[in-house]
Structure 1
């Protein structure tokens, strides 16, 4: 391939950003509060917040704020984010077929 398509390059850069894949995989299950995602993922709260802001800016994640006390904030995939479901699922399928259990952390 002589020239990479800039759109493809940007998409790969976004999806390969550390923790983004796991965040998207977690949000495929449905809406989540920040604290739920922080408990589900092996990532610091600060980094999770940074990645969620990036994904929100890209239009992949939606942040819904509910005027309750205390304020409730939920994150979910936008339509753009939901369109990534087949990609994430295919990567999961590929990993199950081709990544050896010896190659991963036993806690996973």
Structure 2
């Protein structure tokens, strides 16, 4: 179960994805405008999957989904990851639901 710090990061990530509809990335934690994969804290990153934006909000630089799964648990992380790959909206819903657990 995520702690309060992680839950707040999930909410901030969902808020950011809602406010930035062109900022969603599929199949990558973070990407440049060109689609090139970058770390979640890279200043050139402008697109994120739900987990990638959560990691950014936590100040954790990574390109690996496994880092997020290790932080919040495989089952919850996998749920958010898969939802975000379906659509931006599904990723937002998954983040918000996870933050309520």
Alignment TM class, shorter chain as reference: 0.3 to 0.5
| Richer in strand (by share) | 1
Which gives a bigger RCO, structure 1 or 2 (Cα 8 Å, sep 6+)?
2
Normalized against structure 2, the TM-score is what? Answer: 0.33
- Structure 1 or 2, whichever has the larger Rg, is 1
- TM-score in terms of structure 1 length: 0.32
- Structure with greater proportional helix content: 2
